[in-house]
Structure 1
Amino acid sequence: MTGVLQFLSEQPLITIAVVIMIGTALGALSVRGIQLGAAGILFAALGLAAWGASAGVEIEVPEALGSFGLALFAFATGVISGPGFFAAIRTAWPLMLSVGGVIFAAAAVTLILGRAMGLDNDAIAGVFAGSQTNTPALAAAGGGAEATVGYACAYLFGVLAMLATTAWSLRRAASDTDAPAPIVGATIRVDRDQPVLAADLQNWIGGKVKLVRVNHAGESEVSAVTPDTVFGHGDKVSVVGEDDDVDVLVERLGHRSTHDLTEDRSDLDFRRITLSNPRFGGRRVADLRLVARYGATVSRVRRGDVDLVSTPSLRLQLGDRLRVVAPPESMHAVTELLGDSNRGQTAFAPVALGAGLAIGLGIGMIPISLPGGLTVSIGAAAGTLLVGLAMGRMRRIGPILTSMPVTSATVLAEIGLMLFLAYAGCKAGGMIGVAFGSGEVVRLVLVGAAASVVVALGSYALTRWVFKLGGVRSAGVLGGVQTQPALLGFANERTGYDARVSLGYALVYPTAMIVKVIAAQFLVIL
């Protein structure tokens, strides 16, 4: 087998393909309902590189390729999370500060135990970086021989400890109370005697419920609701929204009708249309001007696997599937306007992608001076994640799209994740032999395990009992605390790419990254 290992050592691209193949198969194996998912690639790379090292063959993936994969993964994750991130960050700063406290606590434990076991500062800093599975922290610690050995000894347990914690957190997913409520449709019969203007009613309910169709009392025609529509006694109105919000509107207007206005498609037809016209990417629903142009309206928007209530201010993305309600004779024109091509789900916005990666990588290199003479940088991953969050939130700058369909961003994130995990696993696996040849390996492993347990248990306690987050969102936060893409991939696959996972990850990742880099530098000089 030495010949095969030597061949893989000389052909890194084939090595990546083999690691992805074996790792994907490993990740698909289920043990009592638990699968490794994307983390299988990491462990496959660890095993292959360690096997090669035992035979005297160095198997590695080029660092530039791994770094690019990490940057691509972080940028795409930011684009996916951007719309929700800035809405959540206003209330998430206590969580961010608490995460920083947990990481500093782990650093303190590493320092205290390391000193007690006679480790030098470089080894302590390396163990800390490995326990946090954070390569930038290793670089901040100097990346010397002692630090690298400590990193390799602590890395594997760092992954396993948080992987187990994430799996435990996901066991609570069934009882989550923060899961998005399903969007439902209903027909309401108006019982109130006093007429009400649709615009006034819409202002009262905000964007929670969409008024779609109306059948006025005594008339057979069904028409689309406009802001000037007046609802009177006996009218029937079809609405779309979350069930609880629809119930509130029912109480205000009348009662749920047994008559379903959507069954009569003679006056108003409906269909799902994929938005693929770049002209409307990043624009608001109101910018479509469907009511004025065609007497049509958008009742709901499906983005990825999530349904959203259509509101005039809702920003659209290419690849969104719009449920359009329109007169049958106008449906063809509406379809042509929106595009309805599969290209809408696979557009990559190449200008924004290239510019976002370049700007993010540049931001990650900017030196930041701290008290005490320390100089740090946030790193490529945090830089590209921040730029991705901003571009995902803006969606477009003038004629240039800055966002991309959820499908495209997810594919890019998965490709980047696989490249990075193959690189990280081969790098750490190649160092395991050196680590176990060291006389202090037991001390390094014990100190690293203690630091990993502090972060795992501390983060779990924060998310569950202090901030009372649901299991799905907590899983994303745990991955962000550990700055470990494999954990995000694991949680995504277990939850069917629930948006709460990426949002939780993005909320704490930049904070965790910066704190780990700073803590590693402090451990070297203390």
Structure 2
Amino acid sequence: MEILRNLFYGFPDLWGGGVAHSVMILALVITLGLSLGKLKVKGVSLGLAWILFIGLIFGHYSLNLDAHLLHFLKEFGLILFVYSIGLEVGPGFFSSFKDGGKSLNMLSMIVVALSIVTTLIIYSFTGTPFTTMAGILSGAVTNTPGLGAAQQAYSDLRHIDAPSIATGYAIAYPMGALGVIISFAILRYVLRVNKETEEADAKRGMGHLEKMTLNTFSVKVTNSMVFGDDIQQIRQLLKRDFMVSRIIRCGSNEHDELVNGQTVIGEGDILRVVAHPTVEDPIIALLGEKVEVADDKFGTELVTRRILVTKPDINGKSLSHLQIRTNLGTNVTRVNRNGVDLIATGSLKLQLGDRLTVVGTELAIAHTEKMLGNQMKRLNNPNLIPVFLGIMLGCIFANIPFFIPGINESLRLGLTGGPLIVAILIGYFGPKYNLVTYNTISANLMLREVGICIFLACVGLGTGEQFMQTVVSESGMTWIGYGVAITMIPVILGGIIGKYLFHINYYTLLGVLAGANTNPSALAYVRDQTSVDAPNVGYANVYPFAMFLRIVTIQILIFVFG
């Protein structure tokens, strides 16, 4: 019994209660939290937030870690978490502002701004301490990195910790997760959504997803004005990007012709085209008429394969530089990167982990696989140099002082903002300079989940004593109300603005709103409502920028009002 007591409350003769005590408490909190996180009520789960709640319970009953060790583990877990997020979103961070992504990210910025305005209005009229309001804001939008950023910023500014930040977060988080889903149900009736129409438009990739969606269709050449022109001339006439993957020659049984820029088209030829939805109508208008042709009509001589880029020396090289069509006799029609399909233009630079759709003969595809790698086991070994190098640079960047007008003290990005910005820059610019930053989804997810689990457990353990007293008090109930307002008002107003001002498809809109609140449980709810991929694309497009805004703006608010 004495051993069990010492394991739970610490060995009195060892610093901090001993390593066994510290590791066991931390592991037990995380294990119980992860187990409860699997519980769902009507498809909604609090997920990793259960780790925080279990930590609060343990902290309340003094099952805790040494304060200095707790502080180190909390900061280390947060660094791992935000850095892995930065590496994940970095490759698509800047490209998310192109084409249709501009409006989507503009809407996410409006939603973030509305949540900040709502928080400041409540703060102005109620006199609630801003540290508490910062925690409620982070919990209401289910943004755990924001919690860490607020704590770090306040510690840098006042050189002390503010437990009320974590308390406000823990109180607001449950309704933050549920409030977005309730807001979605309200929006459906407010916007008078016709689900069938919206789903049909989303399937065609219409609206703001036009530049992020690729359609495959067949066109029969009937316009005499283009008889005898080659594909390159057609592309110059349209001044748009598209790919022709296959061709059926009129009056011929041969189906093994590889299409390239010099391929000449004639009357009655049928082309298999890959293009954005906005390009589909101009192509049909120029060439002739759209026809429905089964895949087997294009013959069996040419086949289509998905090839994974796994060779490090391919990283950062453009398709035109590799000359795959000329040297290997295959045609790359599209490139899937992080779940988004890209037109395989010659200027597109490949990255490790890209999936290429390739058309050619079996032998030619085999040579292409050999060139690109296509061996998943090559990607199983994690690239740790960019991880630890980036964390080191992030710590340096975190301590570079800067100034905000009206604040006398020099400020810093801290251990949240510094590693995040460095990770985004490495993730985006690394492949351009042949630095291999790719890690498998599972490896990056493991790094991220370990970091956030450690962070949430330590936050709960460190604030458990005050939390129980606050949550049962009148102020605790009031804080829940504040959190509901900060969650629902921006989402509902953002939904109305997105529909009537930006004219965003309903399912894309819900994905954007879930991404703006960095709320994966809301995205899971939307995905259960439809078979289209629009919510995923909307969420993925705004999530990087929204996460960046949430982390940076909460620090600025602490610097100004804290």
- TM-score normalised per structure 1: 0.81
* Alignment pair present for 1:356 and 2:400: no
Partner residue, 2:32: 22
Distance in 1 between the 2:441 and 2:395 partners?
A: 18
Q: Which amino acid counterpart does residue 57 of structure 1 have in structure 2?
A: L
* Alignment pair present for 1:330 and 2:377: no
Q: How many percent of aligned residue pairs carry the same amino acid? A: 20
Partner residue, 1:388: 423
Partner residue, 1:188: 219
Partner residue, 2:170: 156
SS at match of 1:504: helix
| RMSD (Å), alpha carbons | 3.7
Higher-strand-fraction structure: 1
Paired residue for 2:90, among 82, 93, 98? Answer: 82
> Counterparts of 1:402-413 in structure 2 under 5 Å?
403-404=437-438, 408-409=440-441, 411-413=443-445
> Counterparts of 1:90-489 in structure 2 under 5 Å?
91=102, 92=105, 96=109, 99-100=112-113, 102-114=115-127, 124-133=129-138, 134-142=147-155, 148-168=162-182, 178=208, 183-194=214-225, 195=227, 196-204=229-237, 209-221=242-254, 222-242=256-276, 245-260=279-294, 263-264=297-298, 267-346=301-380, 348-372=382-406, 373-401=408-436, 403-404=437-438, 408-409=440-441, 411-437=443-469, 442=473, 444-445=475-476, 448-449=479-480, 451-468=482-499, 470-479=509-518, 487-488=519-520
Paired residue for 2:551, among 486, 490, 513? Answer: 513
Distance in 2 between the 1:510 and 1:304 partners?
A: 18
Partner residue, 2:62: 56
Distance in 2 between the 1:361 and 1:424 partners?
A: 21
SS at match of 1:329: helix
Partner residue, 2:539: 501
Residues 476 and 219 of structure 1, relative CA distance in 2, 3 Å threshold: same
1:204-229 CA-to-partner distances (Å, cap 9, x unmatched) read: 55665321122333443331211112
Residues 73 and 503 of structure 1, relative CA distance in 2, 3 Å threshold: farther
Distance in 1 between the 2:296 and 2:81 partners?
A: 42
Distance in 2 between the 1:225 and 1:348 partners?
A: 38
1:180-216 CA-to-partner distances (Å, cap 9, x unmatched) read: 7764433322111132321132345566532112233
- TM-score normalised per structure 2: 0.77
Q: Which amino acid counterpart does residue 33 of structure 1 have in structure 2?
A: G
Aligned length, in residue pairs:
501
> Counterparts of 1:34-49 in structure 2 under 5 Å?
34-36=44-46, 40-47=47-54, 49=55
Tell me by how many angstroms 1:423 deviates. Answer: 2.5
Tell me by how many angstroms 1:31 deviates. Answer: 0.9
Distance in 2 between the 1:517 and 1:146 partners?
A: 15
1:276-314 CA-to-partner distances (Å, cap 9, x unmatched) read: 111212332323211110221112233454444433233
- Larger mean CA deviation between 499-508 and 200-209 belongs to 200-209
SS at match of 1:44: helix
Tell me by how many angstroms 1:472 deviates. Answer: 1.0
Say if 1:70 and 1:420, in contact at 8 Å, map to a contact too. yes
Tell me by how many angstroms 1:492 deviates. Answer: 6.7
Partner residue, 1:482: none
Q: Which amino acid counterpart does residue 500 of structure 1 have in structure 2?
A: G
Q: Which runs of 5+ in 2 are unaligned?
A: 10-19, 139-146, 189-194, 203-207, 528-532
Tell me by how many angstroms 1:7 deviates. Answer: 2.4
Say if 1:19 and 1:422, in contact at 8 Å, map to a contact too. no
Distance in 2 between the 1:94 and 1:185 partners?
A: 30
Tell me by how many angstroms 1:471 deviates. Answer: 0.7
Distance in 2 between the 1:317 and 1:424 partners?
A: 33
Distance in 1 between the 2:413 and 2:482 partners?
A: 22
